[in-house]
Chains A and B, each alone.
Chain A
Amino acid sequence: MRNRFMLSVAVLLVLLSCSCVTFAQTYGTKGYSPGAWKPDELPKGLSNPNSFDPHNLSGVWSMPTKPGYFERHSLNDKPIKIAPNVPPQMGSEVYPPPMTPWAKAKFDAALVSYGPRSVPPGEGNDPVSTCEPMGYPRDLWEANLRPFEFVQTPDRVLQHMQYHDLWRTIWTDGRQLPKNPDPAWNGYSVGRWEGDTFVVESNGYDDRTWLDHFGNPHSDQMHLVERYKRVNIDTLELDMTLTDPKAYTAPWVGDKITFVQVKVAIFEEICAPSEENHFNEIIRDPAVSKAKP
């Protein structure tokens, strides 16, 4: 513990002494990839923003781990008490706007693994349990355990989510959203700065993805507006509004999410069907008596 602290102090002193940062460089992290590079194998003086610039979104962003902070799993879910010893990701409930009949039918057909409607594993039909794409914004709700990063280039911002190695291209070259896009798993996104707020609009999402692990649906008419604001060097706020007239009769305004910078790098976390199937075969299916133990 003390050695880690001294290492952090040493790295910080090196970084402060070198004024070599621009946000066009690779994202900064003091951390390392567990299972790959060890701290002493990293170059000295990793790039890290050491002065606050609200137009610099670089960093690895996660939800805070401090006690009492509710780790978000949808736009406006709240903690609820199901039973003693239920972990946080099971004991929450989400409050969407009223659904259209189309959306209600999809919602009722979703056999979920989380929250009050959860069914035993192996009996669910969550597409992610067979390594289907997470889509967006569902992948964002993984940020409590699997963070994301922004990579800024002259004509686009790339948002890279750790879970399923998901990349979104957010075009900042002035183009508008496409008028009649073919549905895409991760949609189509454009971004612009309004003062110190990075506003991202997106559409064209494939309706096969779930909005969250509670099974809330979205259609290919979903339109998202996200407002990102880096309020200080370690904090990024997000306000999100979802409009989807085919699924919800009113806009769904999300609660503000606060992300914090973390000191570990994004690492590869890809869902490989062969690995998922093997795990289910040897561990999960026997746990619910679907196969001979």
Chain B
Amino acid sequence: MRHRIIASLGLVVGLVTVGVPLLAHHGTGVAYVRDKEVTLKGTVTEWFWANPHCGLLFDVTDEKGEVVHWGAELGNPHSLSEAGFSREVFKPGDKLTITGHPAKSGAPRLELLHLMLADGRVLPEKSVKGNGVHLDDPGQ
């Protein structure tokens, strides 16, 4: 019930609140600035689908016209596959709008919060725990 109420306040708020369990792994908590968000428009160059965490590389053209090579950290394939991701969800060349917590070092890396595909679809689709258990499943 609580998760439904949060989700109804706005997709971003809901995903920030319950998206965290997707990203729990060694080092994730310390590498990124958790009270900041950046949003970028980029083009996919690599999609890495593996345990225990997936990675997405994308190029962003800045206001000077220079290309910056960015990377995003995501959770494990099994929980992601419950939230609309798959091994084939991204191809090099795909255009995305990506929001996440930036790296503390200032390097072009972020911890993914959510992204929008060219067709308007937003991922992750729903709240899910690390092993694929749906947080809003009444049986849980």
Contacts and interface: CB of A to CB of B under 8 A. Distances in A.
A94 B71 CA distance: 33
B131 A62 contact: yes
Contacts of A263: 133, 137, 139-140
Interface stretch (A81-89, A174-182, A201-209, A241-249): A81-89
Given A124-B26, A128-B26, A129-B26, A5 B138 contact: yes
A85 B35 contact: yes
A49 B28 CA distance: 38
Interface residues of A, number: 58
A293 B133 contact: no
Contacts of B135: 65
Interface residues of B, number: 52
A118 B131 contact: no
Interface in A43-101: 62, 64-65, 67, 84-90
A21 interface: no
B73 A287 contact: yes
A146 B27 contact: no
A207 B22 CA distance: 30
A180 to B, nearest CB: 34
Given A65-B140, A269-B52, A286-B71, A262 B133 contact: yes
A267 interface: yes
A145 interface: yes
Interface of B: 2, 20-21, 23-24, 26-32, 34-35, 46, 48, 50-53, 55, 57, 68-69, 71-73, 76-79, 81-82, 86, 103-109, 129-133, 135-140
Interface stretch (A102-110, A184-192, A275-283): A275-283
Contacts of B139: 8, 263
A51 B130 CA distance: 29
A262 B55 contact: no
Interface of A: 1, 4-5, 8, 31, 33-35, 62, 64-65, 67, 84-90, 113-114, 118-122, 124, 126, 128-129, 144-147, 162, 213, 260, 262-264, 267-272, 275-276, 278-279, 282-284, 286-289, 293
B130 A145 contact: yes
Contacts of A270: 51
Contacts of B28: 121
A282 B24 CA distance: 19
A73 to B, nearest CB: 10
